[in-house]
Amino acid sequence: MKNLKKNLLKKFISNAIIFLLLILIIIGCFAFYISAGSLSPLKEKLLRRFSVPLELVNSRPVYSTLVFKYADLLKFNAAQNDQKTNNADLASQALLLAEKKQEIGQLASRFDVQAAEKQLQFEYSEFLNNSESSKSSQFFADLRNNNLNEADFKSLILKPEIEIANLQTWFNGQASLNQKAYEKIQEIQGKINAGTDFGALAKIYSEDASSNILEGDLGFVESQAILPELLEKLDGMEDGQVQAIASRYGWHIIKLVEKDNQGRQNGQRLHLMQIFLKSAGFNSWLEQETKSFKIVKLINLKY
């Protein structure tokens, strides 16, 4: 009985090894077929169907499914602008976009500023609100005609934009990376605390044309029109309070004059005064951070 069990176990192990070898051979043949020669319609169909790693960005794969989604997006953009395209250019541009998405995603993860679902929904709603109903309906109909949908729009367009904005906000909020801006903020806050008129300071320091001319008075602003990173901080402020807040665009020294609920559909409005200071150096910092990313090509897309 023991010998029978041993023989069955040996046979099972032997069959499992043979099965694994067959799987490895099939995968090897598939990889050789995909990587060898030019990209035929059948190969493209397989790469669209299966998530095949085309390259590694810092050891993380860029999959073929993502690259071809970007290729479809590029075709869509070209059609919207009556531009001609060719497959070779689309493939290289789509791969570059997928690389950048991977790089930005890794940086956002490193600094814990990934795009949250709440941000995606906010930006998506903003897009719909800023588009006429008929135009937005046609836009998404055209997307679907190019093998794309609303989820792809959020993932390929909105998510990278949000993560770039989050990285900009994070960068602007770092004293070590913005020493001159921080020194100026401290100087202005010192004068505010000493009793200097906020409007007078806005006229001197604000680098935003409208707030400079209006001595910092932005009037009543509906909450929906305020940058999410600012609104998050403003929600916790009391009337008359002044706070310096970093955004994707720079620094906002904001005075909350008052709040009311007389906006559209009884929505919240905020009467704000602002001194705005522009940021600098983000693009250089981003380039430096991604410069060290190691990219390893696995499969070349050749038409």
Cα 178 to Cα 282: distance, rounded to the nearest angstrom: 10
* Per-residue pLDDT reduced to its tens digit, 106-140: 999 999 999 999 899 988 988 888 777 667 788 88
List the structure tokens of 251: 């620094």
List the helix and strand counts (H, then E) for the chain.
13, 7
Nearest to 276 by CA among 223, 221, 204: 204
**Letter for the amino acid at 37?**
G
Cα 162 to Cα 113: distance, rounded to the nearest angstrom: 9
**Could you give phi then psi for residue 261, rounded to 5 degrees?**
-120, 45
The whole-number pLDDT of residue 34 equals 61
* Per-residue pLDDT reduced to its tens digit, 266-302: 788 999 999 999 989 999 999 999 998 999 988 877 7
How far is C-alpha 15 from the chain's CA centre? 48
Beta bridge partners of 246: 251
Cα 277 to Cα 299: distance, rounded to the nearest angstrom: 46
Q: Are 146 and 79 in contact (CB under 8 A)?
A: yes
The whole-number pLDDT of residue 173 equals 94
- Contacting residues for 65 by C-beta, under 8 A, at least 6 apart: 47, 48, 50, 51
List the structure tokens of 227: 């940058």
* Per-residue pLDDT reduced to its tens digit, 56-67: 999 999 999 999
Beta bridge partners of 14: none
Q: How many CB atoms lie within 10 A of CB 230?
A: 23
The whole-number pLDDT of residue 27 equals 62
Long-range contacts of 286-290 (CB under 8 A, 24+ apart): 286/107, 286/167, 289/107, 290/103, 290/107
The whole-number pLDDT of residue 83 equals 83
* Per-residue pLDDT reduced to its tens digit, 159-209: 999 999 999 999 999 999 999 899 999 999 999 999 999 999 999 999 988
Confidence of residue 8 (pLDDT cuts 50, 70, 90): low
Check: pTM over 0.85? Answer yes or no: no
- Contacting residues for 113 by C-beta, under 8 A, at least 6 apart: 163, 166, 167, 169, 170
The region that residue 82 occupies, defined by phi over 0 for left and psi between -120 and 50 for alpha, beta otherwise, is left
